[in-house]
Amino acid sequence: MREQSLSGSWHIRQVGGDEWITGAVPGDVHTALLAAGRIPDPYVGDNEKQLLWVSETDWEYRRMFTPDPLVLNEEKVYLVCDGLDTLADVYLNGKHLAHTDNMYRQYSFEVKNLLKEGENEIRVVFGAPLTFTNQKQKEMPMIGGGDILGGPHLRKAPYHFGWDWGPRLPPIGIWKDVRLEAYSAARMSDVHLRQKSENGKVTVWVEVEIAEWTTGDRKLQLRITSPDGEVQETVVSVKESKSAAVEIENPQLWWPNGYGEQPLYQVEVALLVGRKALDQRHYQIGLRTVEIRQQPDQWGESFTFVINGVPIFAKGADWIPADYFTTRISDELMEGLLRSSVQAHMNMLRVWGGGLYEEDRFYDLCDRYGILVWQDFTFACGIYPADEAFHANVREEAIQNVRRLRHHTSLAMWCGNNEMEQGWVEWGWNKPQDADNQRLKAGYDRMFHHMLPEVVAANDPDHFYWPSSASSNIAFSEPSSQARGDCHYWDVWHGRKPFTAYRSQFPRFMSEFGFQALPPFETIKTFAEPKDWNMTSYIMEHHQRSGSGNGLMIGQMTDTFRMPRDFASLVYLSMILQAEGIRYGVEHWRRNMNRVSGTLIWQLNDCWQVASWASLDYFGRWKALHYAAKRFYEPLMLSVEDTNTVMAVHVTSDLMTATKAQVKWRLEELDGKVLEQGEQAVTAAPLADTPVVTLDFAAKVTDANKRRTIFVAELWQGDRLLTSKVSLFAANKHLELVDPELKVVVHEEQGQLIFEVTAKTLARFVELSVEGADLVFSDNYFDIPAGQTVSVMATMPRRWNENRVRKATRVRSLYQSY
């Protein structure tokens, strides 16, 4: 087997135009135009608005290449296009190979007899996606699927048509690799790697399909190298079996982040003649079992991910494409986002259905980091065509992507779509008297309750299929049920309810809920000029896509905080508001982990610079929410369920063994005067919530002193303070805060910066920053009770020193915001 890449530098022009520019493959027209200086940065200001023409234009890609003689020597040569976005005509040396219409499919053409020695020409002509969808939408209007209507007519990422966190610049281009693949005698047309655990051993086996055009004595080889380098191998004659297995005696199990390690086994699968490989594949897998436990109980039916027999509380977020133009996502950004997730103790990401079946490197990283993946099929919030051709196209797309991703250890489940069952049941899509509408509903039923589960059962029987997120798994019945299945809860935010509403919710699994914040000021500066630094300026509103989202933020902000003194303070308050709201919800659901089995925060990341629900912004910067997540997703979580004057202290544990600790608490004034204190030993039960103590301060906290009195709870192990929590008896805005006179002492120890921050009186939501450096601190936006010192760490930025850091260090807290 031989390969020759045709990725790299190509020529691009408007169809009919005579000027070519160079552009990368994988890539897209917009980023090529940007690199060539032909368009302004679409993410800056409102430049986006001038650029719709790009998606209304036909484009042509072209490159010359000389086939490697070794490739030409093989018996069969295929031209393989991993991804064409989307309406493409592919030509090789002038011969039309195909018209394609699905960006999620790989297309492969046998081209041996079209190739010649020396110069060859490949051309791909793309039709304007918007011209197509606009026309189709006129012929048959479809509900939803993005801000620009008509998207569902085309198998192109729904978010390309605009979402409530993204721009509207539908990309065009060769968005994945292009190459020649050449084989002689035979090749593996399908490789299915599976594993089964029994009696403490794991059997790993491979099932292959072989395309052979000559006869011969061929062998299938499966070779597995353990994390310690131990090699096991099985070779079978293909005539006898298309399957080979290896039994692993002492398997090193793979665990989700926080539950154990992620040892990985290297797997080689080869089709051999003698010692020569006709075809081969390499995989990296972890050994684990995965199931979703749905058991009847007093509340209905559970929805719990169980790994290696251990029920997991899923802590995570929803993932969207990491750049609107996905072809320019660097390895560094991709890995940085996943590393940040792990640092915040996340163990699951849901790849949301309005985006992509992600690239292989995404799942490889999730395998390495211990992140379980909930994978949606790529359909979101819209009604889709129901004709035969559309369904056949989707079926092929599903088979290809299921086969591509099924071996990944991180893959936990397949899910039909995002919120479309809710559309049919709750959003008024269903019109019983309208025949056309009922035809589309039947199409939905066929696709998500028959076709896709059948594709999964046939191609990936080891993974679970779930029809929609959110769903109760009963077709067209109570998709938002709290008795069974997963839930999306949007009454806080879209419904304007206060954060306290979260405590009224007990879903079996919370797969979406969220609250917006502005991105950090440093990020705002990359798209808005100083004259636009006002939340309701035209540019700030252009970078807000959730209707009157800025108003929603301000509304909740005034429930919680005082009016900010300036724009920088408003940015800061928006971030801590988001962090506080989500903390309030997650702590409640974790305390109720016997009933609620996971929380996925909408959303982890951004695809451009925008006000959004994300905890990490477009550049991967940590918003206050991400630091809060690091605290509220701790395996051992201290939380306080505060109800007026009653404080109920809990320790919630995701650890697999009982853990002894000490809870110390104080009722104190903002200046540190202690009114009452106590201590309580606790043995935190494994994989459970343990209530520690419930205290009612009705006698001590009155309307006269509640604005200067707080409750501090601390979790200790021996003389080590693990964490502390400040709870209030009045709203933050009504606290009688005084200047905490924050002092920061900075020093360096072996490349680590240590910041010791001291507060004279209570300092809330202390924000540390180092001007000119993008630091991730070990903690930030934390509270410091009166007289205490909190130490946090960060890595010394390259080419900086202690002195420079000291001069550039800034600190503020809630008191400075008004």
Residues that bind ligand BMA (CB under 6 A): 163-165, 354, 381, 418-419, 488, 512, 546, 602
Asked if residues 162 and 608 have their Cβ atoms less than 8 Å apart, the reply is no
Cα-flanking dihedrals φ and ψ of residue 338, to 5°? -75, -35
For 466, phi then psi, to 5°, come to -125, 135
Say which residues have a Cβ less than 8 Å from residue 801's Cβ, sequence separation at least 6: 748
Of 186, 210, 211, nearest in space to 278 by CA: 186
Backbone angles phi, psi at 118, to 5 degrees: 80, -150
Output Rg (C-alpha) for the chain, integer angstroms.
28
| SS3 call for 503 | helix
Q: From 607, 755, 749, 719, select the one nearest 42 (Cα to Cα).
A: 607
Q: Are 650 and 640 in contact (CB under 8 A)?
A: yes
Query: Which amino acid is located at 324 in the chain?
Result: Y
Q: Which is nearer to ligand BMA, 602 or 608 (CB)?
A: 602
Q: For the CB of residue 358, give the shortest distance to ligand BMA in the complex, in Å.
A: 17
Task: Report the half-sphere exposure of 813 (CA within 13 A, side-chain side).
Answer: 24
Minimum CB distance to ligand BMA smaller for 26 or for 145: 145
Closer to ligand BMA by Cβ: residue 67 or 382? 382
Minimum distance between the CB of residue 152 and ligand BMA, rounded to whole angstroms? Answer: 14
Q: Which is nearer to ligand BMA, 421 or 512 (CB)?
A: 512
3-class DSSP state of 177: coil
Q: CB 315 → ligand BMA: shortest distance, Å? A: 19
Kindly tell me which of 48 and 164 has the beta carbon lying closer to ligand BMA: 164
Q: Please state, in angstroms and as integers, the Cα–Cα distance from residue 650 to each residue in 588, 628, 725, following that order.
A: 10, 17, 11
Minimal distance, residue 499 CB to ligand BMA, in Å: 17
- CB 238, min distance to ligand BMA, A: 46
Closest CB 431 distance from ligand BMA, rounded Å: 22
Residue number with CB closer to ligand BMA (26 or 166): 166
Element containing residue 394 per DSSP (H, E): helix 388-405
Beta strand 709-717 with 464-466: parallel, antiparallel or unpaired? unpaired
Nearer to ligand BMA among residue 79 and residue 351 (C-beta) = 351
Residue 489 C-beta: closest distance to ligand BMA, Å? 10
Helices and strands of the chain, counted as H and E runs: 15, 45
Q: Is the Cβ of residue 370 or residue 549 nearer to ligand BMA in the bound state?
A: 549
Which DSSP state fits 253? B
CB 30 within 8 A of CB 326: no
Q: Which helix (H) or strand (E) holds 11?
A: strand 8-14
| Residue 265 Cα distances to 206, 423, 763, angstroms | 14, 43, 49
Rounded to whole angstroms, what are the CA distances from 584 to 27, 57, 365, 552, 631?
42, 48, 30, 18, 12
* Cβ-based nearer residue to ligand BMA, 257 or 556: 556
- Cβ proximity to ligand BMA, 164 vs 634, nearer residue: 164
Q: Are 511 and 469 in contact (CB under 8 A)?
A: yes
In the complex with ligand BMA, the residue whose CB is nearer, 512 or 689, is: 512
Smallest gap from residue 542 Cβ to ligand BMA (A) = 17
- Tokens 């696709």 correspond to what residue? 447
Closest CB 53 distance from ligand BMA, rounded Å: 26
| Pairwise CA distance, residues 363 & 358, whole Å | 8
| CB 724, CB 785: distance < 8 Å | yes
Rounded to whole angstroms, the Cα distance separating 665 from 725 reads 9
Which CB atom, from 372 or from 614, has the smaller least distance to ligand BMA?
A: 614
Query: What's the closest the beta carbon of residue 399 comes to ligand BMA, in angstroms?
Result: 25
- In the structure encoding, which two tokens stand for residue 475, read together? 């077709």
Nearest to 256 by CA among 374, 407, 356: 374
* Contact (CB, 8 A) for 173 and 153: no
Backbone angles phi, psi at 404, to 5 degrees: -70, -35
Shortest approach of ligand BMA to residue 812 CB, angstroms? 30
- Minimum CB distance to ligand BMA smaller for 305 or for 602: 602
Contacts with 145 (C-beta within 8 Å, 6 or more apart), sequence order:
151, 152, 158, 161, 380, 381, 382, 383, 384
Alpha helices by DSSP H, listed for 22-102, are 29-35, 69-73
Q: Cβ 741 to ligand BMA, closest distance in Å?
A: 41
Least gap, CB of 466 to ligand BMA (angstroms)? 15
Orientation angle between helical segments 360-369 and 331-343, nearest 10 degrees: 30
Task: Using the minimum distance from each CB to ligand BMA, give the nearer residue, 513 or 697.
Answer: 513
Tell me whether residue 126 or residue 493 sits nearer to ligand BMA (CB atom).
493
Whole-number minimum distance, CB 276 to ligand BMA, in Å?
A: 50
What's the closest the beta carbon of residue 513 comes to ligand BMA, in angstroms? 9
